[in-house]
Chain A
Amino acid sequence: MEIKIDPETNTLIREGIENIINPFDSYAIEEAVRTKERLTNEEVEVIALTMGPPQSAEILKEAISVGADSATLLSDRAFAGADTWATSTILAKAINKLEDCRLIILGKQTVDGDTGQVGPELAQRLNIPFIGYVSSILEINRSKMKVKRLMEDRYETFEINLPVAISVVKDINIPRVPSLRGKMKAKTIEIPVWDAKKLEADENEVGLAGSYTQVVKIFTPQIKHDTRMLEGTAEEQVEELHKILKELNLV
């Protein structure tokens, strides 16, 4: 698929592009639903939040179909061009409007930006601890949780008080297939949209204006191809290939 960049803002043109759920976020949604199923004695509500253009409502409906209780879309033209910081600003404002939000689960990163920054920035905004790359929630209750996280060369185990924000890696679960009830609920549910006004967001702190970084240029690195067809019998071709690889110091 061709990627188009807006020449003025240097950001991706998303209009007309089919949105998919960020695959890492599907693990976050699944873990939230499993946490609810695990805490049978507690009143737990799974709320899916995303910031994005109007068509992102479809993504939130997917979250509903796999067990989220409700979802809210954070959307406003003014949010366009947001970097991770401006994104976390909006998410934090939305979360502050929720009552008694004790656990925030995020995917470890997006598959487009790949930064992994929104989680820690969001936690900073909310002034709560953040644990990234969680591969297992070992224990959890209303006030505390114990998690294992995946580092490059080791696992780490933390015990931490709630509220907390965590990001999860794909080892944490296998996301379920949507349920029939979930799909039917998703079909009829109205996804509320919170805009800048509703979130009481100042125009200087959202979108491009509220971003510390902006994408100056996106380009595909040039890949040089050099193709040579070998001819002759299989044996001759192998001989020739061996010679070439030897010349290149590859064997």
Chain B
Amino acid sequence: MRYLLTEEQKMIVDICRQIVAERIVPVRAELDESGTFPREIINEIGKSDLFRIFIPEEFEGMGTGIFEVCLATEELSRGDLSVATSYAASGLGIIPILIAGSDEQKKRFLPQVASGSKLAAFGLTEAEAGSDAGGIRTTAKKDGDFYILNGTKQWITNGGEADIYTIFAMTNPQKGIRGASAIIVEKGTPGFEFGKKEDKLGIRASATRELIFTDCRVPKENLLGGEGMGFIIAMKTFDQSRPAVGAQAVGVAQGALEEALNYSKIRKQFGTPISSFQAIQHMLADMETNIEAARALVYHAARVMDSGEKNVTRLSSMAKLFASDMAMKVTVDAVQILGGYGFMKEYPVEKMMRDAKITQIYEGTNQIMRNIIALDMIKRGVI
């Protein structure tokens, strides 16, 4: 359902739908099977200006908002969550620059991402630091005009494919999370290498790799904000990015529902289409209702954020939590409606089900989402 969209927002949706129909759907099963990064599709997304919607006009973006990012992400996710994740992860990689970057840093990095000629990535997670982001061990030691990075990041989306990495490292390990800093590292910097590419349950075509830093010298001009601001930058980044994860979940669920609905109308059992059975009808009705409820929450969160509201953590986390739990349920039900065929790789719903799972895990597990929401409720009360 598409209500209340402006002309420009409709254009974004139309472009994404054309990319999904012409470029994504014909190859998604193959990309999933082989775990191949969808470089050509990402290039097409770049040419169609969709990376520009992350970025303000003065840095060659389109100056739109989180709502537009959610629309594009949702539509791409309807076709394939791997593609949408690769797309959204580039946005995630530059949010720290938007939040804390100097004008000079923005001029240096944002236009290349806006045009789609370079991808960005966000490097926080480590083997021992997932939900406990404060536990990162990667260090950035000041040495004259440089920081020297040592450590290994894990499960970094767009790892190896991106050119611009926002890395979180300890500039002052004694201070704990208050000693973390965000610093931009460009691909090709000596001492910066990529580790193994992960073999995953879902979003198999997206690149998930280790980033390995060995005495990697990064110019001090690449530090975002000041030393010790890393954790705050990371949390503010997630506030802004989580609605887009909600949008991914809405998109993948929508894609699965469409498959299930179409199938239910052509699949005959007991001499009649299975869509005539109330058992199927009620599943479809629940799926549609839950998707629309999640979409409404995601859109609402995005619009509130675009209105300039500052305290958005709770709403943003709720959008991600609700939509991703919904997507997992809806995609499982879609497989159920397709029955045995749903379990087969010839049909796209098993992939959608595998893909949906990650939305409950990344950018903060849903358990962490509940912690964040509850703590904000206790701290700030009813809003």
Contact = CB atoms under 8 A, between A and B. Distances in A.
B22 interface: yes
Nearest to A183: B11
B49 A177 contact: no
B113 interface: no
Contacts of A183: 11, 14-15
A215 interface: no
B232 interface: no
A180 B11 contact: yes
A181 B52 contact: yes
A176 B11 contact: no
Contacts of B12: 180
Interface residues of B, number: 18
Contacts of A177: 15, 18-19, 22-23, 44, 47-48
Interface string B37-60: 000000010011110110000000
State the majority secondary structure of interface residues on A: helix
A184 B11 contact: yes
A192 interface: no
Contacts of A180: 8, 11-12, 15, 48-50, 52-53, 62
B7 interface: yes
B259 to A, nearest CB: 23
A181 B62 contact: yes
A61 to B, nearest CB: 12
Q: Which of B7, B22, B47 has the largest count of A CB atoms less than 10 A from its CB?
A: B47
Contacts of B50: 180
Contacts of B11: 180, 183-184, 187
Contact of A176 (B14, B44, B53): B44
A54 interface: no
Contacts of A187: 7, 11
Contacts of A184: 8, 11
Contacts of B49: 179-182
A23 interface: no
A214 B172 CA distance: 84
Contacts of B62: 180-181
B40 to A, nearest CB: 9
Nearest to A181: B49
Q: Which of A176, A178, A180, A183 has the largest count of B CB atoms less than 10 A from its CB?
A: A180
A177 B48 CA distance: 6
A178 B10 CA distance: 13
A179 B19 CA distance: 11
A178 to B, nearest CB: 6
Contacts of B22: 177
Contacts of B53: 180
B7 A179 contact: no
B48 A176 contact: yes
Nearest to B21: A177
A181 B49 CA distance: 7
B8 A176 contact: no
Contacts of B44: 176-177
Interface in A171-221: 176-184, 187
A228 B354 CA distance: 48
21 contacts: A177-B15, A177-B19, A177-B22, A177-B44, A177-B47, A178-B48, A180-B8, A180-B11, A180-B12, A180-B48, A180-B53, A180-B62, A181-B49, A181-B52, A181-B62, A182-B49, A183-B11, A183-B14, A184-B8, A187-B7, A187-B11
Interface of B: 7-8, 11-12, 14-15, 18-19, 22-23, 44, 47-50, 52-53, 62
Given A177-B48, A178-B48, A179-B48, 9 more contacts: A176-B44, A177-B19, A177-B23, A177-B44, A178-B15, A179-B47, A180-B12, A187-B7, A187-B11
